[in-house]
Every structure is written in structure tokens, then in C-alpha cells.
Amino acid sequence: MSMEATSAAASSLPTSAMFKAFLLALTAACLLQTLLRRRRQRKPLPPGPAPWPVVGSLPEMLLKKPAFRWIHLVMKELGTDIACLKLGGVHVIPVTSPAIAREVLRKQDATFASRPLTFASEAFSHGYIDAVMLPYGEQWRKMRRVLTAEIADNITRYVYSLVTSSGGVDVRHVTRHYCANVIRRLIFNRRYFGEPQPDGGPGPLEVQHVDAVFDALGLLYAFCVSDYMPWLRGLDLDGHEKQVKEANRTVNELHDMVIDERWRQWKSGERQEPEDLLDVLITLTGADGKPLLSIEEVKAQCQDMTMAAVDNPSNAVEWALAEMVNRPEMMEKAAAELDAVVGRDRLVEEGDIPRLSYLKACIREAFRLHPVAPFNVPHVALADATVAGYHIPEGSHVILSRIGLGRNPAVWEDPLRFDPGRHLAAGGDDVTLAETDLRFISFSTGRRGCVAAALGTAMSVMLFGRLLHCFTWSKPAGVEAVDLSESRNDTFMANPLVLHAQPRLPAHLYEGMHGNPASCQPE
């Protein structure tokens, strides 16, 4: 190569390098500009406290337990209906506005269709294998109608025995065991795990069952630290995991002794016709004719159904009775409606429910003012979303506040006052317990919503109707007014409701219920 050519090539190198550097700088500038533009265009997160690195606002939550009261206090101080709390690596988005709640569950329901994976939910669902379609049809409706009335007979007989022996009634004990009895008969075709009790009340195993189920419900989405920082799982820093295991073990031991034997009977050919929901689950088949569910899936579904139906009706009836015994005019109005619709020569039946508007308004008001839990089951964002003008990152946990919705002063006039009349004014004679506009939350609106609403309505109104129709309720001697304080750690009454009761119907109606031992017997 000539010296001239070599010199020309050498002189072109800086020019080529400079051109590449220019292109690289230009590309970087364009990328930076795009990122900045996207950041400027992205909506802000909902308002909330500034999080600490790694742990977020977990320290504040732990210092100010219970978590749900701290969350509502934060929202009140910020003056917002939607907030963002960073707990570990998770954005938790509480909502107290019906309009925002409808945006989440109606307009963007597909985006928020998932559930969080927690230690408790994994344990109680047997490893997330309970997500099957609940059998629903005429057979379910028939069973529901028969069982809600049948168990109402049993619980009326039990209350009557308490009244005639002492006059004092632990209403919480009665309402919780009515709901548990309905579910046990519906699923297992039995009210008792052990020996039937002569007075129709629960035995030791039934008390253990109800206590464990309510413990499990309180632990299900309890803001456990390891649910937001999974690498802490196993250390059990707050004792949550031990409590979950104990509650789960009790429920499983009682359920398994029935399910294992029933599974054996079907596989051996001893049983031929389904008699309850357990039989239906065991005999479900797929398109290929093979069993649809394994025994573990059957157990998970039975536990799921049990936990879905015991707490809401019992809590609403206890609170409604407590509110109304302090307002005798309400008790008298409800009794007058029952006498007009049912009379005093028979007992309340499910067919009476459509005409018991005031009774349903009382239950509906209890759902609004005294929800069974602070929050609805969390919804997880499957992708980035925008809600109420705010950016909701993928993976966020959106929690609708039952307290905030039902007691929102922008929605409800005098929201802390128990006033069943507000529901009669809104709905006329057609009063339903479900709230479709999400101004409060009564029953689930998910895939089991219709089943939960139908069963929950029947259980709530039958229980409440029987208690008010069959007995006159009053405060215990020496008590000026029932204490309506809410528990610090949950939304139940701080103290179980204990009232005095007297029969108000002819004696033969109560005595006629004594001859029904068959429904008390285990299979």
C-alpha cells in the first residue's frame, strides 16, 4: 500500500469513531427522552405514607395493630377514598368509595381477577386446589329450602330449652351454631360430629369446629408479615403460622373422618345415590366419564364451603338484635310484620321471606353498619392499571373496605346510626340483602356470588325471623342498655350478646319440634 493510501486510511479512523460515538449518544438521548416522557405520562400512585426501603410501611403497621384500624386512620388523615400502602414489596390499595369499587370489580374485573398467595390461604385451600365450580341447580335449591327450615326448627327448640330453664340466651353462641348446623347438614348430611345433644344444642366437637372455623376466617388475610416478605416464611415471627396450622388441623380432623369414610363407601359400591353435597362432589365426572375431583380436592372444596357461609349471617343477626333491643320500637315493628305475614299459629318458613320487608331491611342495615370483616377478599392486579386516575402497578393488592363503604358519609346520611328505614325508602317492598351498587358489601360478587347470596339470605332471614317470631327479647335485669362497642381486633361485638327471652307463641308449636330426633343423628 502506498504511503498516500495509508495516510488517508489513518485520517478516516477518527472520523468513523466520532460518527459511531455520535450515533450512540443520539440513541441514548432518545431512549432517555422516551423513558422520561413515559414517566411523566404515567399516573401517580394513590396517596399514602412514604415507605421505608425494603420493608415499606410494615414497621408502622406492626406498631399500630390491628392493621385494619391503622389503614383506615391513614386514609382518614389523608382525606382520600383510595390509598397506597407499600408493605414489603407489595402495593396494598384500600378503597372506601362505591364508585371506585365498581371501577375495580365491574369495569376492570378481568384485570383484578386474581387472589394473593398467602400462608393461610394456601393452608386452608389444601394448596390452592379448591377452585372448582360449586354444584348449583334445582337440587341445591331444594336442599337449601329444606335444611334452612329444618335447622331453624332445631335451633328454635334449643333456644326454647334455654329460655325455659334460665331465660338467658347467649345470642352469639346460638347464631354461630345455627349457621354451622346448616352447613354441616348441607355438606355432610349430619349436624353432629359426635353424639347428638338432648336439647338440640352443640356438643364439644361442634364447639371445637365452630371455634376453629372462626379462627381460620380471622387468619385468612390477616396482614401477616411473611405474606409481604416471603423470605421470612418459616420463622413465624408473629405466631401467625402456628395459629393457622392449629385451626386447619382441627377443621381437617373433623372433616376428614367423614370424608374418608364416605369416599371409601362410594369406591366400594356401598353408596349408590347422592344424599348431600359431599356425595355430589365425590361423584362429579368429566367429559370422559372419569371422576373430576381427587379426595384432596373434595376436602378442599368442603372446607371452602364451610368457611364461606358461617360468619356473615351469624354476625348480622347478633348485631341487629343488639341494636334493636336498645330501640324497642324497632323490635315491635318487626314483630308486628311477622304476625301480619305469618300469624301466631305456625312458624316462619322460607316462603315467607319475600314479604318480610322490614325484617330484611334490619338485616341489610346490619350488613351495612356492622360488616363481618374490615375488608373484602383482596384482588390482585394481573397487569398495570389505572383506577380513579391513579396508577395501580401489576401485583398490587386491591382491598375494598367493608367498613369504609358502609359507613361512608358521602353515601349514607348519618352513617353510624342503625336505621333500617333507609333501605325501605330505597327499595320499596322489594328488599334484597345483596347490594349490587357496592354501597356496602353483603355477599360475595364472585363466581360463587349467586350461591352465597341465595344461601346467605335464607340463613339470615330464617334465623332472624325465627328468633323474633318465637321469642320476645329484652335486656338482662339491671342492664340499662346493651353495649354496642366493637371489638378492637375485629368487627364483631366486643362482648358476646346475652339477652333475656320469653316464648311468644302457643306452647304446642315449640313442643311439636321435640319429636324430630332424626335430624339430630349423624349418618
Going by the annotation, the residues of the binding site for heme are 450
Query: Which backbone phi and psi does 424 adopt, to 5 degrees?
Result: -70, -40
> Rounded CA gap, 293 and 482, in Å?
48
- Whether 398 contacts 367, CB under 8 Å: no
Q: How far is CA 92 from the centre of its chain?
A: 18
Cell numbers for 17, please give them.
Answer: 469513531
> Rounded CA gap, 220 and 149, in Å?
30
> Rounded CA gap, 428 and 422, in Å?
10
- Reduced to 3 states (helix: H, G, I; strand: E, B; else coil), residue 490 is coil
Q: How far is CA 212 from the centre of its chain?
A: 16
> Rounded CA gap, 323 and 319, in Å?
6
Is the alpha carbon torsion for 129, 134, 135, 139 positive or negative? Answer: positive
> Which helix (H) or strand (E) segment is 449 a member of?
helix 449-470
Q: Residue ranges for the binding site?
A: 450
- Whether 361 contacts 337, CB under 8 Å: no
Kindly give, in sequence order, each residue whose CB lies less than 8 Å from that of residue 84, ignoring residues fewer than 6 positions away.
Answer: 45, 46, 47, 48, 91, 92, 93, 390, 396
Query: Which backbone phi and psi does 472 adopt, to 5 degrees?
Result: -100, 125
Cell numbers for 185, please give them.
Answer: 347438614
Cα–Cα distances in angstroms (integers) from residue 53 to residues 56, 264, 357, 395, 397, in the given order: 6, 54, 53, 18, 19
- Whether 85 contacts 70, CB under 8 Å: no
Cell numbers for 159, please give them.
Answer: 333456644
Intra-chain end-to-end CA distance of the chain, in Å: 104
DSSP label at 515? G
- Reduced to 3 states (helix: H, G, I; strand: E, B; else coil), residue 91 is strand
> Rounded CA gap, 82 and 200, in Å?
47
